[in-house]
Structure formats: structure tokens, C-alpha cells
Amino acid sequence: MDAEKRIAELKEKINQYDYEYHVLDDPTISDVEYDKLLNELTQLEEDHPQYKRDDSPTQRVGGKVLDGFTKVEHSIPMMSLANAFDESDLRAFDERVRKYVDDYSYVVEAKVDGLAASLIYEEGKLVRAATRGNGQVGEDITHNARTIKSVPLSLNKAVSLEVRGEIFMNRAAFMALNEKRAKAEEPLFKNPRNAAAGSVRQLDSKIAASRSLDMFIYSLVERDDEVTMTQSETIDYLKDLGFKTNPYQCFDSIDEVVEASIAIEKNRHDYKYEIDGAVVKVNQKPLYKTIGYTAKSPKWAIAYKFKAEEVATTINAIKYQVGRTGQITPVAVLEPVEIQGSTVSRATLHNDRYILDKDIRVGDDVLIRKAGDIIPEVVAVIEERRDMQEPFTMISHCPKCDTPLKRTESKADLYCDNPSCPAKKVEALIHFASRKAMNIEGLGNRIIELFYNEGYLQDIRDIYTLQEHKDVLVTRAGFGQKSIEKLLKHIESSKSNSAELLLFGLGIRYVGEKVSRVLAMHYGSLFDMIECKIEDLRAIDEVGDKIAQSVEAYFSNEENIALLRDLHDQGVNMKYKGHVNQSGIFTDKTIVLTGKLEHFTRDEARERIEAEGGKVTSSVSKKTDFVLAGEDAGSKLTKAQELGVDVLTEEDFINRLESK
């Protein structure tokens, strides 16, 4: 047999053995026999490199080393799931679904505690893998995904598609990895999720290849108007293509869903990998478009999160953090304790009212848990263990600048209103560079604090002038030419971010991720927000009185306007660059909603317009293309008629959508 045919034969055999072992968990060949075949293939490819292909099993061993990770924009955002924490939350979810559709069922599966990633195949070949990142933009991890043996390098059919799933490390692999690290006197990983995340983000793929990573695929990426299969049919189809999929169950009623979710929680320790909940999805995917989405998550799915484990420990001290807005947050310094796979030594105490209500004192033994499996919090004091601890007294002055503290309007929180407070400045810089804001990789808390103390960073503008200090920074211990160049590259890259990330990064009070996106979409540019008025802001969905007042106050401040102009002069983008449908029926059209719609809520109508490339604004002007008028339409309809703006009835609107 010639070399080309033998290589093809070996590839087919080894791929089948990999599938049986890593996907079906049913090996049909011994390790010795497998290694013999792999060694033969490796030697043949070395002798005949013209026949070596990227989908060869020999390419899983790693060896590719990157200088850094490339950013990848997702074609369709990778959304997160809303959470349910008990039976009532699951039933409430079902009631919300029932408001939109009548005939549906559910798919339930265990929620793997790993990290989400996407895989793209062209004509059946793996061409790209990416992390979730912030949902809009992730990082290219193709070189590491190729080393995961449950990830097919080539599919059973030559199809082009994108799938998403969870990369994880099973318990046995995690324990073996930590044993190896312990022998090498290296730091141990806290839990399998951290180990998997750290492995996926290695620049050297040989390291990832040595970590025994695994991956379940749980979705096929499709536009809602393209779907034909149910979720269960989709999973079966993906399995037929060669993907490893998580076992699922189908149910017709929410009662069965509740029972199944509780059973998964009860048996969570029987799984070979860590799970932190159950995922519940409507099975009929063609209904997803009708059920819809929020800004962050689909309305047709929910994650039932397991109850947090509670652990006893001691409060050794109470310290205070100063946030970017000046809010003072008490923090409990705990006797370190293991909880859900990680060591916890600090827990937020929120504010003095929270402490006094629970009568928490330094020296108390307390029960702690991770709220939402993430943030450590004090649940209760173990009063029977209390001795002679002194009652808690809140501080009256800022712990960083000694300014007298003031109460918020709600009286719940204390804050420092000194604009020159160093703690506020540092926190503002940290927030601006954080992953959910400008996402400047390499500019973390420690470096920001160091650069602030040394005078290189005093406000946001200084981030974009760090290039001027490059010659000095590269001489600092722990940095060097390569790391500084990488940091400066990420800073330069952040200039092209869409405006909602900048808006969130500015740290305007009450303006979170979701509201930042809503405002950026509404105005199109941060400069267009300079003239914003409270009454116009209030008319925007998701914007209440507090947010409107805060936003108007921010854009009425000349110092803030000067900051925006300076950032613009430094090359920072001020315009919204989000996903806009360039071929939609409302592409580049500005639409105003007024009156009560029969078949849509305001949010649903806005989502449909934006999905078709349109922009929804709150006030009618000569720039308005259409006014969508429902019942009891008022002054906006009158103004539209005066200006000659086209008016759509709800029936017109539906007809346009259906014609598409």
C-alpha cells in the first residue's frame, strides 16, 4: 500500500478510536495498540509531508505557540442565561413563556461548569474556535481547541456551520493535573473550571494538549428565521456529525421539569465532571423568535442554579473598600475556608445596615456561601458560639482620604464625595479597563495601582498616553519590552470599541451594561448625547428617573465633555458599532413608537425593529422615517402628521415583517 492510502486509512481508524473513547466513552482498542497506530501515522507524515493535513490526529499533540490572542467578533452574540434559584423561579419562567406561545415542550440537561466557546467548520473542517469573551467579542483559541480529542477536526459530513458548547475538565483529569503540579511544586488549581479556563488560554498549545480537556456541544448557531429542527433534533444531528453532546431529557410540563432539575441537583456528585445547575430550554426552536430575548439573555431558556453550600468560618476583621463612585463597602476578612472548590478569605458586607440587621461582629463565627455560586456572602452569625465580641460601629470618614462620609438619598449607603480621592480614581481606572467595559487586556488591578502610584495614570486620558512612557516602562522589573508592547497593542485596539463599552467604562452612576447599550443604540454617538434632556431620556425603554437624572448631569458637566473630546482626539471611537442588519426591512430607518400596541410590548416591537436594522428613538423630528402608532397615540402622532412623517399602523408593521 502506498503512503498516501496508508495515511488516509490510519487517519480514519484513529479518528474512529478517538470518537469511541472520548465521545462514546466506549474504547474498542488498547492504549498500546492505539499508540502504535499513532506513531506509525506520525512517522509516515514526517516521511511524506505532502500528505499531512490539518485534520490529522497527529495535530492534536500541540506545538503551535502564539505571541498573543487575536480578538474574534461573534457573528451572533453569545448570550448568557437568566438564572432560576428555586421551584418558584422555574414556574415563573414557564408562565412567561406561556404568555407568548401555547404548544411547546422542554429539554433539560445538566449545566456543565466550564467555559463557553464556539467552533466554526467550513466544508466539515474545523477552521476556528473562540472563547465567549464579553459575548460580542472573544479570543481565537483554535490552536488549543485542536488538542481537545472530543472536538472533531473533521465532521462526518462536509457541512459548514457554527456550534457552541462548554469546554471543561473532568474530575479525574483535574486531580491528576494537581498531583503532577504538586510534585513539581507548582501552585495548584482551585477547581476544574479554573484549570480548564487557564488551559484554554495558554499561548503554547502543548500545554493545553497535556491537560486532558473535554467539550460538550449544546447548540447550533442559526438565525431564528432559519431554524427548522427542535432542540432535541438539533442535538441528535450534532451527535451524528461527530460531536460530543450532553445527555438530555424531554418533558411536556413544567412539573416534570422541576422534578428533573431537583433530581439533577440531588445527584450532582454522581457526574464525572462538575455541574452547577440544570439548563431548561423550550424544545421548539421555531418558537424562539416569538418568545424573544432580553438585552442579555434569551427568554426561551433558563439556568436552574443549585443551592449554594454553606460553610462555617470566623470574621477576623472588617475592612472598607472605596468604589469608583465613592461608595463605601464593608468587607469581612475571614479565616480562609474552602467552599465549592475555591479558598474564600473575604466576603462583602454591603453596607452598615446589612451588618447591623444581622448583628455581625469581629470575632464572630458565621456561615458563608457563594451567592449565585460566585460572590462570597455572610448568611448568618452562629450566635451560640459568640463570646464577648464588641458591637459593630461604622466609620465616619473615608479610609483613603479622611473626607467625612455622606449618606445616599436612600440612606442605605455611605459615600466619599471627594473628587480627588485616590481610591475613587484607581477604581475608576480599573472599571474603565475591565473586561465588560473597554476590555484592555494586561491592564489589571495591580498594574493600574502601580502606574497610578508612580504618576503614569491619573485619569482615563493617561491610558492612551502610556505610549509616551514606553522607554521607561520597559526597564521596570516584571515588565520588559514584550509585555509592554503587548499592553500598548491592547490599549490601541480598545480605541475601536463600540460606543456602549466606552459609555459603560465612564462609570456614570446607575448606568450599567444594558443601559449603556440601549443609550448607545438610541443616540448613535456619545457626542449626540451632549444635548440630552431628562424628558427625552425618560421616554427610552430601560431608562428610569434616576438614570435619566444621572445621565443628564454627566453630559451637562463641562469637564466630562472635555474628557470625551480629548478621548476622541486620541482616536477613541464615539459611535455605536453594534450588530446592525444591513439587509433588514428597516435598515438605516429611524422609527418612533407611540400608543398601545395589541400584539407587541414596546420592548418586543423595538427588538423586532432593531433585528431588521432599524433604530428606535423617543422623539419625532424631520429625521424620523416612520412613526409606529398604536391605540391612544398622542402628541407624537400629531407631530408626525405636522412634519409629514409616514405613519405605520400595527397592521402595516406586521405586514412588513411577514412580507420579509
Catalytic residues: 111
User: Which residues on adjacent β-strands are paired with residue 329?
Assistant: 321
- CA trace torsion 56, 26, 160, 138 (10° rounding): -90
Lookup: cell for 513 = 451594561
The CA distances from residue 319 to 285, 352, 392, 514, in Å, are: 50, 12, 12, 31
CA distances 505 to 264, 386, 424, 497, 519, Å, are: 39, 44, 14, 11, 14
DSSP state string for 445-493: HHHHHHHHHTTS-SSHHHHTTGGGGHHHHTTSTT--HHHHHHHHHHHHH
DSSP string, 284-325: -GGGHHHH-B-SSSBTTEEEEEPPPP-EEEEEEEEEEEE-TT
Q: What is each CA distance from 363 to 334, 336, 343, 496, 652, in whole angstroms?
A: 10, 14, 19, 50, 68
SS3 629: strand
Dig out the grid coordinates for 398 from the structure: 473615608
d(CA 310, CA 365): 13
End-to-end CA distance of the chain: 56
Q: Cα separation of 158 and 219, whole Å? A: 18
Contact by Cβ (8 Å): 108, 249:
yes
Q: Which cell is 533 given?
A: 434632556
Other beta carbons within 10 Å of 250: 14
Q: Which residues contact 564 (CB under 8 A, 6 or more apart)?
A: 526, 527, 574
From residue 56, give the alpha-carbon distance in Å to each of 13, 23, 36, 37, 152: 11, 18, 16, 13, 10
Q: Contact, 421 vs 403, CB < 8 A?
A: yes
Report CA torsion sign: 289, 292, 294, 296. Answer: negative
Task: Give the separation between CA 397 and CA 402, rounded to whole angstroms.
Answer: 5
d(Cα 506, Cα 509) in Å, to the nearest integer?
9
What residue spans of 192-321 are helical by DSSP H? 192-200, 205-209, 231-241, 254-266, 288-291
Sheet containing 248-251: give its strands across. 83-84, 301-305, 275-282, 106-112, 248-251
- For residue 210, give the nearest of 140, 144, 129 by alpha carbon: 144
Give the separation between CA 153 and CA 61, rounded to whole angstroms. Answer: 13
CA–CA separation, 507 and 402 (whole Å):
23
Per-residue cell: 462: 493617561
Q: Please answer whether residues 61 and 147 qualify as being in contact, where contact means their C-beta atoms are separated by less than 8 angstroms.
A: yes
Q: Which three cell numbers stand for residue 118?
A: 464556539
C-alpha cell read off for 424:
475613587
